[in-house]
């Protein structure tokens, strides 16, 4: 198992403290075991570390009041969105109070003329798009789960659309953040560019709750394209699929989505989503633009695919067919777990420069083939990003050791190729040792930054940086 960082000295949570939180929040503060358990764990194999209590906040002012109460008692604070992260980020390693912002669900402002929106941190990506339905606009960032926008900002999330629209890094314009002492600050703004001072917005995006709690997020929006077309194309081998991706990106074709699923993942998706695609390495595509533009992009990609052994394209142009296709892709994680009932997932991702993608994937697949591990591979490959899920029984030490060995080798490989230990899942505590390796001397500087924002190390302690 990934080493759990040494816990901070634990502050005993007393009845007097509980009474103070109850006085502030009433029934929206609880120490019920079931609620604490639910908040101590994400969607991966990482073990459960329940907090001492869970506070459900409804506004920035309320988050600030909870944080001040935690500061008074020197209690750790763990922010919680929807708990779908994958590297142990919500685990209360040293106890403390979990601040659940999923009850902060208001869309505060939509400005269609400026293509931007401000939401409370608990609004989820699907809720936002539902809200925008009649405006002709959409928000493109789509991690597989229906995550909260505060959580997505905090993990610097992306998804299938990032190759065209970028990640949360490019799409967060500004934030409202509650700092460790309860102060409320606003970062960034609505201007499309700014040269005004330090870029605190980018600092909080990806900080995983270790520097402050995001309570409001201002985001870029996009016009829904005039034409959208999706397609699925199987390949004779994985190299052909990956070479198609590389050539498509290097040719500058503005694909909106280009996703790889290996043959193991395709088998899982067919079984889970009741589909009958060919069981072969496969690319899922989507093209956005004018009708003529989409047709042209599709023809160019089909020609590249044919060169590399891509056989038939199956097209989905009706919205309901497209949603079925992409829902199947988004359900890939649960499809992988369903291959082995009762198993847990150790999901992991790396990202490399696009020219190294084929080498990285092929060497990783060879490693898996030489092991007994079941590990379907999927990827947002247009960005050079791919994922494995080690399908494991965490109670079997030999399986955990093998997953760790394969994972260490994959991350080392990606780093040696100029890549990163995670393209989108983040660090939590599961990948802290890899961040240290990747960042070198900058890892200590990250720790110094953390100390400047949070001198008592109470904001999600034990995650991202070691101090
Ligand atoms: C099936 C599946 C598919 C996925 N696919 C993708 C994918 O394609 N791309 C991708 O990027 N991720 C993916 N993920 C991972 C996950 O959905 C993202 O990491 C997501 O951004 C987490 O959001 P959340 O609201 O669930 O955050 P949580 O899990 O609740 O929290 C994540 C971290 O952020 C902190 N945090 C949460 N809210 C706040 C806040 N308001 N202020 C400060 N800190 C906060 C938490 O303390 C924690 O450290 C997937 C997960 C699953 C289960």
Q: What is the DSSP string of 74-142?
A: T--EEEESSS--SSSTT--BTB-EEEE-TT---EEEEETTTTEEEEETT-BHHHHHHHTGGGTEE----
Q: Which residue has the tokens 């590990």?
A: 375
**Residues with Cβ within 8 Å of residue 71, at least 6 apart in sequence:** 180, 181, 182, 456, 458
Q: Is 252 exposed, middle or buried (0-12, 13-18, 19+ CB in 10 A)?
A: exposed
Q: What b/e readout covers 64-96, taking b as 16+ CB neighbours within 10 angstroms?
A: bbbbebbbebebbbbbbbbbbbbbbbbbbbbbb
**What span, in angstroms and rounded, lies between the C-alpha atoms of 152 and 105?**
14
Say if residues 273 and 332 touch (Cβ distance below 8 Å).
no
Mean pLDDT of 25-35: 98
Which residues on adjacent β-strands are paired with residue 129? none
**Residue 389 beta carbon below 6 angstroms from any ligand 1 atom:** no
Mean pLDDT of 374-392: 97
**Residue 76 beta carbon below 6 angstroms from any ligand 1 atom:** no
* Of residues 52, 161, 77, 172, the one with CA closest to residue 121: 172
In this prediction, residue 9 carries a pLDDT of 82
Mean pLDDT of 19-31: 98
In this prediction, residue 317 carries a pLDDT of 84
Name the region of 84 (left: φ>0; alpha: ψ -120 to 50; beta: rest). Answer: alpha
In this prediction, residue 3 carries a pLDDT of 67
The number of CA neighbours under 13 Å toward the Cβ of 272 is: 23
In this prediction, residue 297 carries a pLDDT of 95
User: CA angle 87-89-90, nearest 5°?
Assistant: 130
**Residue 155 beta carbon below 6 angstroms from any ligand 1 atom:** yes
**What span, in angstroms and rounded, lies between the C-alpha atoms of 127 and 121?**
12
Say if residues 154 and 208 touch (Cβ distance below 8 Å).
yes
Residue 238 to residues 35, 163, 409: CA-CA distances in angstroms?
44, 20, 20
Mean pLDDT of 417-435: 97
In this prediction, residue 100 carries a pLDDT of 98
**What span, in angstroms and rounded, lies between the C-alpha atoms of 445 and 256?**
36
Mean pLDDT of 182-199: 96
pLDDT digits (tens, 9 = 90+) for 57-101: 999 999 999 999 999 999 999 999 999 999 999 999 999 999 999
Report residue 280 as tokens. 């072969």
**Residue 386 beta carbon below 6 angstroms from any ligand 1 atom:** no
| Residue nearest atom 13 of ligand 1, based on CA coordinates | 143
**Average pLDDT taken over every residue of the chain:** 96
**In the predicted structure, residue 1 carries a pLDDT above the cut 60:** no
**What span, in angstroms and rounded, lies between the C-alpha atoms of 383 and 402?**
28
In this prediction, residue 6 carries a pLDDT of 63
**Residue 176 beta carbon below 6 angstroms from any ligand 1 atom:** no
**In the predicted structure, residue 185 carries a pLDDT above the cut 80:** yes
| Residue nearest atom 44 of ligand 1, based on CA coordinates | 209
In this prediction, residue 311 carries a pLDDT of 81
**In the predicted structure, residue 140 carries a pLDDT above the cut 70:** yes
Say if residues 76 and 8 touch (Cβ distance below 8 Å).
yes
pLDDT digits (tens, 9 = 90+) for 193-240: 999 999 999 999 999 999 999 999 999 999 999 999 999 999 999 999
pLDDT digits (tens, 9 = 90+) for 320-366: 999 999 999 999 999 999 999 999 999 999 999 999 999 999 999 99
β-pairing, 377-380 vs 257-261, is antiparallel
**In the predicted structure, residue 2 carries a pLDDT above the cut 70:** no
Q: Is 423 exposed, middle or buried (0-12, 13-18, 19+ CB in 10 A)?
A: buried
**In the predicted structure, residue 242 carries a pLDDT above the cut 60:** yes
pLDDT digits (tens, 9 = 90+) for 98-117: 999 999 999 999 999 999 99
- pLDDT confidence bin for 136, thresholds 50/70/90: very high
Q: Tell me the chain's radius of gyration from C-alpha atoms.
A: 22
Which residues on adjacent β-strands are paired with residue 234? 282
Say if residues 212 and 179 touch (Cβ distance below 8 Å).
yes
**In the predicted structure, residue 7 carries a pLDDT above the cut 90:** no
Residue 245 to residues 188, 269, 304, 333, 381: CA-CA distances in angstroms?
35, 21, 9, 22, 7
Mean pLDDT of 125-149: 97
- For residue 411, the CA-to-ligand 1 centroid distance in Å is 21
**Residue 150 beta carbon below 6 angstroms from any ligand 1 atom:** yes
- pLDDT confidence bin for 179, thresholds 50/70/90: very high
Q: Which residue has the tokens 């002709």?
A: 136
In this prediction, residue 111 carries a pLDDT of 97
**Residue 147 beta carbon below 6 angstroms from any ligand 1 atom:** yes
**Residues with Cβ within 8 Å of residue 287, at least 6 apart in sequence:** 227, 228, 229, 230, 255, 256, 293, 294, 297, 298, 301
- pLDDT confidence bin for 312, thresholds 50/70/90: confident
**Residue 143 beta carbon below 6 angstroms from any ligand 1 atom:** yes
Say if residues 156 and 206 touch (Cβ distance below 8 Å).
yes
**What span, in angstroms and rounded, lies between the C-alpha atoms of 74 and 67?**
10
- For residue 206, the CA-to-ligand 1 centroid distance in Å is 10
| Residue nearest atom 16 of ligand 1, based on CA coordinates | 85
**Residues with Cβ within 8 Å of residue 366, at least 6 apart in sequence:** none
Report residue 364 as tokens. 């990783």
Report residue 310 as tokens. 């891509």
**Residue 248 beta carbon below 6 angstroms from any ligand 1 atom:** no
Q: How many CB atoms lie within 10 A of CB 196?
A: 9
Say if residues 403 and 420 touch (Cβ distance below 8 Å).
no
Q: Which residue has the tokens 């079941």?
A: 374
**In the predicted structure, residue 51 carries a pLDDT above the cut 70:** yes
């Amino acid at each position: 198992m990934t080493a759990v960082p040494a816990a901070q000295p634990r502050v005993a949570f007393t009845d007097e403290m509980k009474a103070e939180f109850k006085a502030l929040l009433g029934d929206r503060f609880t120490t019920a075991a079931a609620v604490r358990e639910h908040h101590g764990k994400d969607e991966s194999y990482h073990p459960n570390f329940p907090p001492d209590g869970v506070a459900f906040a409804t506004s920035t002012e309320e988050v600030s009041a909870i944080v001040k109460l935690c500061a008074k008692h020197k209690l750790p604070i763990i922010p919680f969105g929807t708990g779908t992260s994958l590297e142990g980020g919500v685990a209360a390693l040293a106890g403390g109070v979990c601040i659940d912002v999923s009850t902060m669900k208001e869309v505060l402002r939509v400005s269609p003329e400026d293509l931007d929106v401000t939401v409370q941190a608990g609004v989820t990506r699907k809720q936002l798009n539902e809200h925008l339905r009649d405006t002709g606009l959409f928000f493109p960032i789509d991690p597989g789960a229906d995550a909260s926008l505060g959580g997505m900002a905090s993990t610097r999330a992306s998804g299938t659309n990032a190759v065209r629209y970028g990640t949360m890094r490019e799409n967060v314009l500004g934030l409202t953040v509650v700092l460790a002492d309860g102060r409320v600050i606003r970062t960034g703004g609505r201007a499309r560019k700014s040269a005004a001072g330090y870029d605190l917005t980018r600092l909080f995006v990806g900080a995983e709750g270790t520097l402050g709690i995001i309570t409001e997020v201002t985001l870029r929006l996009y016009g829904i394209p005039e034409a959208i077309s999706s397609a699925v194309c199987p390949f004779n081998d994985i190299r052909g699929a990956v070479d198609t991706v590389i050539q498509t990106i290097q040719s500058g074709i503005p694909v909106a989505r280009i996703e790889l699923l290996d043959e193991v993942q395709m088998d899982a998706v067919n079984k889970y989503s009741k589909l009958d695609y060919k069981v072969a390495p496969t690319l899922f595509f989507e093209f956005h633009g004018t009708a003529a533009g989409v047709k042209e992009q599709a023809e160019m990609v089909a020609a590249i695919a044919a060169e590399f052994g891509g056989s038939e394209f199956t097209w989905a142009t009706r919205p309901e067919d497209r949603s079925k296709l992409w829902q199947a892709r988004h359900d890939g994680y649960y499809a992988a777990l369903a291959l082995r009932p009762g198993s847990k997932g150790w999901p992991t991702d790396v990202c490399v420069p696009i020219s190294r993608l084929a080498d990285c994937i092929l060497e990783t697949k060879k490693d898996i083939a030489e092991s007994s591990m079941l590990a379907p591979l999927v990827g947002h490959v247009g960005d050079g990003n791919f994922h494995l899920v080690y399908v494991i029984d965490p109670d079997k030490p030999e399986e955990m050791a093998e997953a760790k060995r394969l994972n260490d080798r994959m991350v080392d490989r990606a780093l040696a190729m100029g890549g990163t230990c995670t393209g989108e899942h983040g660090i939590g505590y599961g990948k802290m040792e890899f961040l240290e390796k990747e960042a070198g001397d900058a890892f200590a500087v990250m720790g110094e930054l953390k100390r400047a924002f949070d001198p008592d190390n109470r904001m999600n302690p034990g995650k991202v940086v070691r101090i």
